[in-house]
Amino acid sequence: MLSARFRAALAYAARLHARQARKGTVRPYIAHLLGVTSTVITHGGDEDEAIAALLHDAVEDQGGKPRLREIRRKFGARVAKIVDGCTDSYSEPKPPWLERKKAYLAHLRTADKSTCLVSAGDKLYNSREVLADYRTHGDQVWQRFSGEKRGTLWYYREVANILHDKVPRELSDELERVVAELERAAGSNHEQR
């Protein structure tokens, strides 16, 4: 069972992201955090991993290294380590998109099991959302992303390939299915950039 510590993290995440919407939408950002957390819990994540799922974007979107130190103080070193492992940028403005994504992919190849679990939950949620939005809005959806169509599809394919043997089989299979469906729908050959 999840403790008061999880409930505190949920309230903390809701406060941090209260004014944030998903990129290119009016959907409250907390929906993404709850979706990732649900995926992590469903696939065997423990309380630290569930808390890290709630907070996985807090450092990147809400305060950089000072926010990471606060997370460590409030929720412990293991949660902070997972959040750190899911973060691809600590600064504003962020480094160029392709540079960030290539560095994150290199990191993911050697990341620990907990970071991979939260990252897989994040990428599964994101790819599902992109697929649903693509079905509604067509190619217009790619305008939301710095990597545009080609780069975004390449990135999700690379993540799915890397995480294939690093997360529970049901999770990696679902990520593979969604990414493949997105590729088919978008008519991509997902060439590496």
Active site residues: 60-61
Nearest to 78 by CA among 57, 58, 53, 61: 53
Structure tokens at 95: 């480094």
Say how many CA atoms lie within 13 Å of 188 toward its Cβ: 25
Cα 95 to Cα 107: distance, rounded to the nearest angstrom = 16
Using only C-alpha atoms, what is the Rg of the chain? 16
Instruction: Spell out the residues 6+ positions from residue 40 whose beta carbon is closer than 8 angstroms to its own.
Output: 49, 50, 52, 53, 117, 118, 121
